[in-house]
Chain A
Amino acid sequence: MSSPTVLLALEAALNAFAAGQRFTQMAQRATQEGRELTADELRQLRLEDDAAAARQANAIAEARAREAQKG
């Protein structure tokens, strides 16, 4: 197994961990306060997803430029 693929597997595991922790923090706070998640909390998650989508689009554009340079 080459190192970039191992690192990708680690990255995937860490991102899954971060997602779980992000949700867990929100859910635990809501449970402690005896309420459901608020619209603001969901909006925050949507904003984070939008930001990740923008970074994803940038990475695609950069990869496409690199591939074009290589021919």
Chain B
Amino acid sequence: MNSPDPVPTPPTQPPTLPVTQSPVALALIVALISQVANVLETFGIKIPFTQEQVSALVAGLLAIGGSVMALWALWKRWRSPVQPLAFTQAGADAKAAAMQNKQAGRASVGAVLLLLLVVVPTMPMLLASCASLGMVAPQSTQQRIALALAQNTGLRNTSTYALQQGIIKASEGESIKAVNDQARVLLDLADTALSSDPAGATRNVDLAIALMRELQRRLEAKGTTP
């Protein structure tokens, strides 16, 4: 007696993720890079990035990697010939495979939600780290004054934006402007004393930078506090 042709059934086990899509493999790669950096430091080879910059960069890269993987998962799900929730006549295996497809679909949606939760908040950090990475370090007190002036302008622009968006109140804006003005006075004094009193000029630049760092922290707190 001839038996009917067996109905092809989807595999019961999902295929193993290739190394480029495995979160564990990605974590191992990052850990490996960190270890290489540690070894280089041991041999006296200086890496021109601070710990914070590297952390921010790695976090940003992981977020971008996660988003690419999420989109890739969505695309694969869309292109897959096996329909989710396709309960065929092929029995328990097909049902299990369909359930796995359904779970994969949920995972894709979860990955997109995770992407929104992770990528958006880490973008400022990534941008900030890139800002420092591409920047030339000031070589003299005069260049430090120039950089501090540009940064003071940037802080003023940020507080203007915060005021316009109603994120800070007018009183707080005034307090921020007073610090900006104070930093500017110190920088002007430093510029004036550059040739006659270099030590005093350096001291004034240090003070101005300290004021601006505090201001930056204040604005960052406004930008990260719900």
Contact = CB atoms under 8 A, between A and B. Distances in A.
B224 A5 contact: yes
Interface string B164-192: 11111110011011001100100010010
Interface in A21-52: 21-24, 26-28, 31, 36-37, 41-42, 45-46, 48-49, 52
A42 B55 CA distance: 34
A24 B135 contact: yes
Contacts of B158: 8, 11-12, 15
Interface string B135-162: 1101110110111011111111111111
Contact of A19 (B147, B167, B220): B147
B142 to A, nearest CB: 6
B131 A13 contact: yes
Interface residues of A, number: 48
Contacts of B222: 5, 8
Give the interface residue-count category, chain B: 35 or more
A54 to B, nearest CB: 9
A8 B136 contact: no
Contact of B166 (A22, A26, A36, A63): A63
Contacts of B219: 8, 12
A56 B156 CA distance: 6
Contacts of A57: 177
A8 B223 contact: yes
Contacts of A31: 136, 139
Nearest to B144: A23
A70 B46 CA distance: 56
A17 B151 CA distance: 9
B71 interface: no
Given A9-B124, A23-B136, A37-B146, A15 B170 contact: no
B121 A6 contact: yes
Contact of B124 (A12, A27, A28): A12
B48 interface: no
A23 B151 CA distance: 9
B143 A13 contact: no
B170 A64 contact: yes
Nearest to B160: A59
Contacts of B152: 49, 52
